[in-house]
Amino acid sequence: MSGFSTRAIRAATQAPRVDQRPNSVPIYQSVTFSSADADELGEVLTDKRSGYAYARIGNPTDESLAAAIAELHGAEAGFVFASGMAAIHASLLSLVRAGDRIVCTQAVYGSTRSLLVNVLGGLGVRTTFVDPTDIEAIEAALEAEPTRVLYVETISNPTIVVSDLAVLAGLAHRHGALLVVDNTFASAYLCRPIELGADLVVESATKYIGGHSDVLAGVTVGSRERIARVRAIQTDTGASLAPLAAFLVLRGLTTLAIRMQRHAATAASLAGWLEGRPGVARVFHPSLASHPQAETARRQLRLGGGMFAFELTGGREAGRAFIDALTIPERTASLGSIHTIVVHPPSTTHRQLSDGDLAAAGIAPGLLRCSVGLEDLDDLVADFGHALDAAGAVTPPLGGERVAAPPTPAPAGTTAAVRG
């Protein structure tokens, strides 16, 4: 008979036989998977046979999540990562080499810009930044010299610019470039860039897909051929998604539609209420008729989404006062959560940018980005009203004296806009 330790190890690692299908994807919390013989192990490790050997290369829970997100995007395949930035990193590395060039939207997430300029730039990949809504400027940039990738965000972070993906896909392909789209602010529920011509789509699954600020993950979807190249990069760089994290994102995915409907309805009502308020210079939400790309948003997005931005006339000081006066939103980073989150991009998400870069990206000193959660609209309106009063108290009017803004009660019927 075998010794105690041998028997304990064998007994404790025998998976039970399950003849009934589980209604949730199991968490395959194992780094290694056994093969029947050496030949099978070699074929699995070299992709000559489907299967699993080592979790950095593949895990069943991870692959279930990747397949589910790919299906919702209308893509052939997907691959998941430990974070959204890991997905962006691997996706771009699968496409560019030293000497290649990327054309990127000027309004882009700060860490993405840092990756392009500092990391890929240090490896000999050049990036040119352009206004995603200036089609002539984009075409001129693509014509100026060979370009490998045109990189845009469906809804830009933090200025809420809506890129016309079908037009940009046509431009990119006509000039021999590939279109890579960050769809984080939209999710597959609002927009499916693959169906509009994108070659790869990346998302931070930490945000709307997970939806609860309790899991970190990223995903890339595209054709089987392109995802195979992305997977190869991940295998060698190691940004593997833990199976428990994949399970949590899968759970979030099941309620994505109803959460996005609530996020979008509340955001549209709150943004509309903010328009024209004392101390508010501009509000940017895709559902507003005043949005510069309102027509593009109407064609491309199912709903306006849960993200909006607004600019306070009092600049940085007013923005700080506004955030500090809020009692419902969390003072934290990230977005796409059940919690409403308001941030000041120049000092948080885009802190890597110089004042000149901020201005070029359209990020004003008083710009605030709001990720609307699932709280009740009436409560958010009241809280934002008090915060506007606080911001107004530090905003000098034209006469020069500091005065508090007038009270900002919610208009009649605000709640019905969400509950109807």
Active site residue ranges: 56, 109, 182, 207
What is d(CA 290, CA 40) in angstroms, rounded to the nearest whole number? 61
CB atoms under 10 Å from CB of 374, counted, come to 16
Question: SS in 3 state form for the chain?
Answer: CCCHHHHHHHHHCCCCCCCCCCCCCCCCCCCECCCCCHHHHHHHHCCCCCCCCECCCCCHHHHHHHHHHHHHHCCCEEEEECCHHHHHHHHHHCCCCCCCEEEEECCCCHHHHHHHHHHHHHCCCEEEEECCCCHHHHHHHHHHCCCCEEEEECECCCCCCECCHHHHHHHHHHCCCEEEEECCCCHHHHCCHHHHCCCEEEEECCCCCCCCCCCCCEEEEECHHHHHHHHHHHHHHCCCCCHHHHHHHHHHHCCHHHHHHHHHHHHHHHHHHHCCCCCEEEEECCCCCCCCCHHHHHHHCCCCCCEEEEEECCHHHHHHHHHHHCCCCECCCCCCCCCCEEECHHHCCCCCCCHHHHHHCCCCCCEEEEECCCCCHHHHHHHHHHHHHHHHCCCCCCCCCCCCCCCCCCCCCHHHHHHC
